[in-house]
Structure 1
Amino acid sequence: MRRLMKTALLATAIATSAAFAGSAYAEDSVLLPNLSYRTGPFAATGTPLMNGQRDYMTMLNERDGGVNGVILNYQECETGYNTEKGVECYEKTKAEGAVVTQPWSTGITLQVLPKSNVDSMPILAPGYGFSAMQDGKIFKWAFNPPASYWDGASMILQNISGGNLDSLKGKKIALLHLDHPFGKEPIPLLETLAKKHGFTLLPIPVGLKEMQNQSAQWLQIRRERPDFVVMWGWGAMNAGAITEAVKTKYPMNQFVGIWWSGLDADLKLVGDAGKGYRTLSWSFPNNEAKVMKDIKQLVVDPGKSMLNTSTGEFDWVFYQRGVLISAMLAEGVKEAQKHFNTKVVDREQLRWGLENLDFSEAKIKELGLDGMIPPFKTTCANHTGHSGAWMLEWDGTKFVKASDVLQADRAEIDPLVAEKAKEYADANQPWPTNEECKL
């Protein structure tokens, strides 16, 4: 335990100092904290994501002197994915002058969501959090680009049904999910779609203490013999599930995960036995992209990165997804600077920047992110952007693209967003809405 605490403190210290690398005398900076988790049962997934985020910020500071002369002060506050610690980190970084928070857990996101209105604090939750945060008129301060969990559930069903959800009629789909707000998030949409299209949804929860021993869950899967297992897993749960699937000889081509269930290291544990396992992903690693070459040259090779070079982490989906997440935040800062004609942005200005992200094909190329993310655009009314995603497949050694860009069914999702957003606002009165947004 002492070693884990020491590691977490070291990570935070290094991350803080790295933010000012090459700019020790910089006058202007902006505090962009990250509620990280490099310790605990979710560390295996959290660490490469944090490394990618940190390295992109460090690269911008090294290459460009930050964003328009403003140093990006990236700091980490270790939560261990614990909701109580996450709220403590939120309060701590808020007091230090943070202009944004990245909660990183759906549970933490739900806890700080009501605080965002009071504190005027933007919440950046890329690809996670409460899916109804898409509604920017109700959730003025919360952002979950480039795709929500309901987007993800829709795209997975689109893929496994061959584009026709009616073909799932009479089939059984098991939802192997973490028994946590994150794991429960897709259930409302999946229940709606199961009723409409005639398939059976079988939720199978995995408790936090069961993540590494899922024998009971996989015994149920063997007994129920579902046509597909959809995994909404995180951290140690993913490795446990993939190992059990191999052990019980469940067909890997019928096993599909959400984008947080696609860690390279988990599949490397089973190697060729994992062939055919698929994971939906709004990101794809591309070492030939300019941004990755710049990170390698300016951050990794000089020893300024915390990534584990011996594992090949640089090539992983999660590490490069972390890069993309920091790119979104940096672009939010840049858009705010431009619109408000200022250097050091405040929270309200950054909120505007985040709801005016435009990751067009041209912008993606300009940022050197070629092939790494599908286009998306946020607005004051749409805080998600709906980028679409690829289905990736494990080929025994790495993930490869197994589909074109998939798109969620907005006709199915938008009414549920409206219903749940209103339900949330009504239950948390007085709840301010964005009356300035006319879209």
Structure 2
Amino acid sequence: MRTILKSALLATSVLVAGAFAAPAFAQDVLHVPNLSYRTGPFATSGTPLANGQLDYLTMLNERDGGLNGVKLDGSECETGYNTEKGVECYEKTKGNAVVTQPWSTGITLQVLPKSHVDKIPILAPGYGFSAMQDGKTFEWAFNPPSSYWDGASILLNTIADGNLDNLKGKKVALLHLDHPYGKEPIPLMEALAAKHGFTLLPIPVGLKEMQNQSAQWLQIRREKPDFVLMWGWGAMNGGALTEAAKTKYPMNQFLGIWWAGHDADLKLVGEAGKGYRSVSWSFPNNDAKAMQDIKKLVVDAGKSQAAPGEFDTVFYQRGVLIAAMMVEGIKVAQDKYGAKVVNAEQVRWGLENLDFSEARIKELGLDGMIPPFKTSCSNHTGHAGGWILEWDGAKFVKASEVMQADRAAIDPIVEVKAKEYAEANKPWPTQACQ
């Protein structure tokens, strides 16, 4: 496995893979590998997310001795956000994993059929194939707390002031990474454009164009869309924001999905980015109990890889939340089956029975960081909704209460796409939900 060797050298209680495992942790370990990417054009986005996850696991190992006395092994396998490498990492880490995190929609789509055969749950928080919300069809896949189609619905409702008929006759550009991730919202947006009479203008950005989007922004200047919605990631986000500021595109008409709401990207344009908005199912809260414990036991103790200032950011703290969802799924499984070292099939049940109620969020020390949600046999997303965050020139601030997606618009498309997937991958197993 290609591990992050720096993690092994740090004085942290999070284990690393194989030969680096300390003998004291040889027994009673829960393996939760992370198919991370700290290198390549997406590293600026992937690194703080990986750091947040790793630090949450380290905090639990330091503070609580792990989870119910079982250490958590947060080994990383470097993918560089490359689909082929991601599949290789999945194969290398699946042996003792109780859950896998593909960390890319492209990798998720490749691993999806494998996980059903291997019986290892996929945890893809806020990414992946949106139709994975259908737990009957996608028994082993989970994308809580909100899907890409949830995010697309919220963004469209934001620019339409709550009524999509207000978009009739308008033009909405979708500036998106030319990758499975960037194409994910298109089916829903096309259906809503046809229904409500607005024009959807997809503008793809190739992997080699991310830092030089002059052609895309020339098209935007020529087409004069009423709004630009961004489905960007890594270097693409900074490139788009720089071009928008250079061409003086109105920032209050420029909005992004949660992966296009990264503090570091907006700091590239600073004050010129004021008014840019992003939907987000997470919000940083340094004063939350879990964050204070991470700061004391991990960051201040020199056991974190996080860069100075990273602790305060949306993406670092979103990484914390992703780890918290994963760990909660394991704990629910431990409680259900009366076992400390649960297996992948038991963890699958745990992820299917998450209940992030307001009370539970508070118990976990994550106050104000994530909206409540609940998964079930038939609902593997939970649909927490999200806040609209706005860049004030220096940081992201909440610009709305929690907003919900339009289920009446999304659920029928989920049903169609889930059925299409099952038909295309026959024989595809399904589970019966009560």
The answer to whether TM tops 0.5 is yes
Residue 154 of structure 1 aligns to a residue whose secondary structure is helix
Q: Is 2:14 the counterpart of 1:19?
A: yes
Do the aligned partners of 1:15 and 1:54 also contact (CA within 8 Å) in 2? no
Q: Is 2:262 the counterpart of 1:263?
A: yes
TM (norm. structure 1) is: 0.96
Matching residue of 1:432: 429
User: Could you say if the C-alpha distance between residues 191 and 157 of structure 1 is closer, same or farther in structure 2, counting changes exceeding 3 Å?
Assistant: same
Identity of aligned residues (%): 76
Matching residue of 2:380: 383
List alignment gaps of at least 5 residues for structure 1. Answer: none
Matching residue of 1:240: 239
Do the aligned partners of 1:34 and 1:77 also contact (CA within 8 Å) in 2? yes
User: Could you say if the C-alpha distance between residues 323 and 421 of structure 1 is closer, same or farther in structure 2, counting changes exceeding 3 Å?
Assistant: same
Residue 400 of structure 1 aligns to a residue whose secondary structure is strand
| Partner Cα distance (1:257, 1:393) in 2 | 10
Residue 173 of structure 1 aligns to a residue whose secondary structure is strand
User: Could you say if the C-alpha distance between residues 223 and 233 of structure 1 is closer, same or farther in structure 2, counting changes exceeding 3 Å?
Assistant: same
Do the aligned partners of 2:11 and 2:303 also contact (CA within 8 Å) in 1? no
In the TM superposition, residue 11 of structure 1 has moved relative to its aligned partner by 3.9
Instruction: Letter of the 1:392 partner, please give it.
Output: L
Do the aligned partners of 2:241 and 2:266 also contact (CA within 8 Å) in 1? yes
| Partner Cα distance (2:54, 2:397) in 1 | 25
| Partner Cα distance (1:308, 1:417) in 2 | 39
Matching residue of 2:301: 302
Q: Is 2:409 the counterpart of 1:412?
A: yes
TM (norm. structure 2) is: 0.97
Matching residue of 1:170: 169
Matching residue of 2:315: 318
Q: Is 2:5 the counterpart of 1:10?
A: yes
Matching residue of 2:80: 80
Do the aligned partners of 2:122 and 2:140 also contact (CA within 8 Å) in 1? yes
Do the aligned partners of 1:15 and 1:75 also contact (CA within 8 Å) in 2? no
Do the aligned partners of 1:16 and 1:73 also contact (CA within 8 Å) in 2? no
Do the aligned partners of 1:19 and 1:58 also contact (CA within 8 Å) in 2? yes
User: Could you say if the C-alpha distance between residues 9 and 98 of structure 1 is closer, same or farther in structure 2, counting changes exceeding 3 Å?
Assistant: same
Q: Is 2:357 the counterpart of 1:360?
A: yes
In the TM superposition, residue 13 of structure 1 has moved relative to its aligned partner by 3.1
In the TM superposition, residue 19 of structure 1 has moved relative to its aligned partner by 1.1
Do the aligned partners of 2:13 and 2:62 also contact (CA within 8 Å) in 1? no
In the TM superposition, residue 94 of structure 1 has moved relative to its aligned partner by 1.1
1:149-168 matches, within 5 Å, as 149-168=148-167
In the TM superposition, residue 294 of structure 1 has moved relative to its aligned partner by 0.3
Residue 407 of structure 1 aligns to a residue whose secondary structure is coil
| Greater CA drift, 11-20 or 320-329 | 11-20
Do the aligned partners of 1:23 and 1:65 also contact (CA within 8 Å) in 2? no
Residue 33 of structure 1 aligns to a residue whose secondary structure is coil
| Partner Cα distance (2:128, 2:276) in 1 | 25
In the TM superposition, residue 117 of structure 1 has moved relative to its aligned partner by 1.1
Matching residue of 2:197: 198
1:140-151 matches, within 5 Å, as 140-151=139-150
User: Could you say if the C-alpha distance between residues 246 and 428 of structure 1 is closer, same or farther in structure 2, counting changes exceeding 3 Å?
Assistant: same
Do the aligned partners of 1:12 and 1:78 also contact (CA within 8 Å) in 2? no
Instruction: Letter of the 1:323 partner, please give it.
Output: V
Residue 373 of structure 1 aligns to a residue whose secondary structure is coil
In the TM superposition, residue 321 of structure 1 has moved relative to its aligned partner by 0.2
User: Could you say if the C-alpha distance between residues 130 and 15 of structure 1 is closer, same or farther in structure 2, counting changes exceeding 3 Å?
Assistant: farther
List alignment gaps of at least 5 residues for structure 2. Answer: none
Do the aligned partners of 1:173 and 1:226 also contact (CA within 8 Å) in 2? yes
Aligned residues: 429
In the TM superposition, residue 17 of structure 1 has moved relative to its aligned partner by 5.8
In the TM superposition, residue 24 of structure 1 has moved relative to its aligned partner by 6.2
1:213-292 matches, within 5 Å, as 213-292=212-291
Do the aligned partners of 1:331 and 1:357 also contact (CA within 8 Å) in 2? yes
Matching residue of 1:339: 336
Q: Cα RMSD over matched residues?
A: 1.6
| Partner Cα distance (1:285, 1:229) in 2 | 25
User: Could you say if the C-alpha distance between residues 76 and 20 of structure 1 is closer, same or farther in structure 2, counting changes exceeding 3 Å?
Assistant: closer
Do the aligned partners of 2:10 and 2:303 also contact (CA within 8 Å) in 1? no
Instruction: Letter of the 1:71 partner, please give it.
Output: K
